Amino acid sequence: MKKSNLAVTATIASLVALGGTMLTTAPALAAEKEKCYGVSKAGKNDCATKTSSCAGTAKEDNQSDAFVVVPKGLCGKLTGGSTESA
**Distance between CA 30 and CA 6 in Å, rounded?**
36
Measured between alpha carbons, how far is 84 from 45 in angstroms, rounded to an integer? Answer: 15
Length of the chain: 86
Helix (H, G, I), strand (E, B) or coil at 34: strand
* Alpha helix positions (H), 32-66: none
Q: Amino acid letter at 53?
A: S
pLDDT for residue 52:
74
Express each pLDDT in 1-52 by its tens digit.
555 566 656 556 665 555 554 445 556 666 799 999 999 998 888 887 777 7
Closest to 38 measured CA to CA, from 14, 63, 56: 63
- What tens digit of pLDDT does each residue of 49-78 get? 777 778 888 888 998 888 999 999 999 999
Q: Please report the pLDDT score of residue 47 as a whole number.
A: 83
